[in-house]
A and B are shown apart, each in its own frame.
Chain A
């Protein structure tokens, strides 16, 4: 499975004298199993790009092809189902449901897929153990640190076994240690399960761990480099 962008544009204020090209005629292909960092200055269009990759935002023009199917042609309901089954999201501010425990947060998205309760319980527990939260299964987000919350968010993003995970500045609110831990986990999952990670970041520590780095500026791809495996 791969994501291919063809001549993708997102323009704000189209009808005014000062249109903003958040993403400007972008061609890009990301294959399954990649570990991609999108970097660039603030306002360069990273969030907009990730949202369009994940089918949350609609482009002004161009195509988002997943295995040669244009997801822009899906109906609202199909799109939600597509997102639910194929794409996981991790947000800068974790965005867990505050009234659910860590375990329930992860179970919830699986239940949306229609898995049985035992299945959900089992996979959610496994995932949370894998992200190192075995002791915090039944805590609500407010009782967890930022790093722990973001790990729950990773588990939640992975629970429906998505092909792609979009992470918009996942480490922006985390300290160095939590960032390193989180990256370890994501890298592990990437290597073991072949889950594709695409994240935007300003963080050099994150960039140094990425296998592929796309530098983005003013909606344009400035650089696209494959990095050597870090030891």
Chain B
């Protein structure tokens, strides 16, 4: 009966109820779409940067993070990495050697970053071959006696005055203090949109790097990628559990702290905007709920006089408010869902410089949406929380309602 009563009471002020619910719905739609786009673009960013350089998870020697030393290495044994391979959510596993060297050609030299990679799987993972602007990607077969091949970044090539086919000397420090030195042939030139990469990257095959640095069958890192971003946490903790102290398991947050920071700040400003929006709508909701209780003082007094318990009366108002909230949520979701589905299949396309930059990196210049149930649940929780917040004062007044003066019909009886 209370529910029936509440439902009918809702429609006594049709326009007000619909208006309030619509305001809630609008706030929910705007926030939800904004959040889905935000989280979608973060995911895309993280995914892109992971593929471009760090991967989503890396396994490293415990000291490597701080030392960046070629002495702090991990095994490249298949057995060593078997556990990671067995994890169902881990989709890609790549061995790498990352270290420093001095590149010299003629009388010019420059400090560079060496990436020793497995050419085929690495290309599948990061589309490295698409970044070749002259020359070609690593050739699959090399004749014996040929000098090992390298791909060098465009900026570096310019500074050293190099072209495909030219030779390049690399010097550095190898494993356990050995001297690293080697002569390489430039197979191709790579273009990276980011200057810090474009000016110092040199790629070679893993074997060449292991030979150059005399690491034998060791690597500096294992680069892992999971099916989705959401799997990272679980995979990382499983890896930590398994490898214990022997391996430092680093997730993307640890690998790209700048990106993590940037996302955090952007997300925070998005959330502030969202709460501001809900704050404004909250005032409307509060006014409605307050009116709903104040204008019916006499009616409530009559109900109390005829035997309704105060607690039941409060319950009635809670149910009425919950109906408004639910109405807002339902309208909001009914409208937001098709919009999000549409955006999922027709993502917002970027134009201008950003788009150009993304195209150069080999990505579609789009802002994808992320349809994470958690985002939906969060919005619903916020709406319900808002409802509870707005209800406190009206309920308090109702609880203290004075029967006699309320019966006299004063709207200000409480």
Contacts and interface: CB of A to CB of B under 8 A. Distances in A.
Interface of A: 51, 54, 56-57, 76-77, 80-81, 83-85, 88-89, 91, 95, 97-100, 104, 107-109, 111-113, 156-157, 160
22 contacts: A51-B404, A54-B305, A56-B305, A57-B403, A57-B404, A77-B309, A88-B306, A89-B306, A91-B302, A97-B299, A99-B9, A99-B11, A100-B5, A100-B8, A104-B1, A108-B1, A109-B306, A111-B1, A112-B307, A112-B309, A112-B312, A157-B306
Most chain A CB within a 10 A radius of its CB, from B1, B299, B306, B308: B306
Interface in B377-410: 403-404, 407
A80 B309 CA distance: 7
A95 B298 CA distance: 8
Contact of A156 (B5, B299, B306, B309): B306
A81 B307 CA distance: 6
A76 B306 contact: no
A160 B307 contact: yes
B302 A95 contact: yes
Interface SS of B by simple majority = helix
B303 interface: yes
A113 B5 contact: no
Given A57-B404, A111-B1, A95 B299 contact: yes
Contacts of A99: 5, 8-9, 11-12
Contacts of B304: 80
Contacts of B12: 98-99
A88 B403 CA distance: 15
A107 B310 CA distance: 19
B254 to A, nearest CB: 59
Nearest to A109: B306
Nearest to A156: B306
B306 A84 contact: yes
Contacts of B407: 51, 56, 91
Interface in B1-35: 1, 5, 8-9, 11-12
B305 A89 contact: yes
Nearest to B298: A95
Contacts of B303: 97
Nearest to B308: A112
Contacts of A84: 306-307
Which 5 A-B pairs give the minimum distances between C-beta atoms?
Answer: A84-B307, A99-B8, A95-B302, A112-B307, A57-B404
A91 B309 CA distance: 19
B191 to A, nearest CB: 71
Contacts of B307: 80-81, 83-85, 109, 112-113, 160
B403 A56 contact: yes
A114 to B, nearest CB: 10
Contacts of B11: 99
Given A91-B302, A100-B8, 4 more contacts: A56-B404, A76-B310, A80-B304, A95-B302
Contacts of A57: 403-404
Nearest to A85: B307
A129 to B, nearest CB: 21
Contacts of B5: 97, 99-100, 108
B308 to A, nearest CB: 6
Nearest to A48: B404
Interface in B57-87: none
Contacts of A97: 5, 299, 303
B396 to A, nearest CB: 16
Contacts of B306: 83-84, 88-89, 109, 112, 156-157
Most chain B CB within a 10 A radius of its CB, from A88, A108, A111: A108
Contacts of A88: 306
Interface in B204-241: none
Nearest to A80: B309
Contacts of A157: 306
B414 to A, nearest CB: 16
Contacts of A108: 1, 5
A97 B304 CA distance: 12
A84 B309 CA distance: 10
Contacts of B312: 112
Contacts of A98: 12, 299
Nearest to A160: B307
Interface in B274-322: 298-299, 302-310, 312
A97 B272 CA distance: 43
A76 B70 CA distance: 80
Contacts of B299: 95, 97-98
Contacts of A51: 404, 407
A54 B407 CA distance: 13
A5 B141 CA distance: 112
Given A56-B404, A95-B299, A83 B9 contact: no
A141 to B, nearest CB: 11
A57 B8 CA distance: 30
B303 to A, nearest CB: 7
Contacts of A76: 310
Contacts of A95: 298-299, 302
Nearest to A140: B8
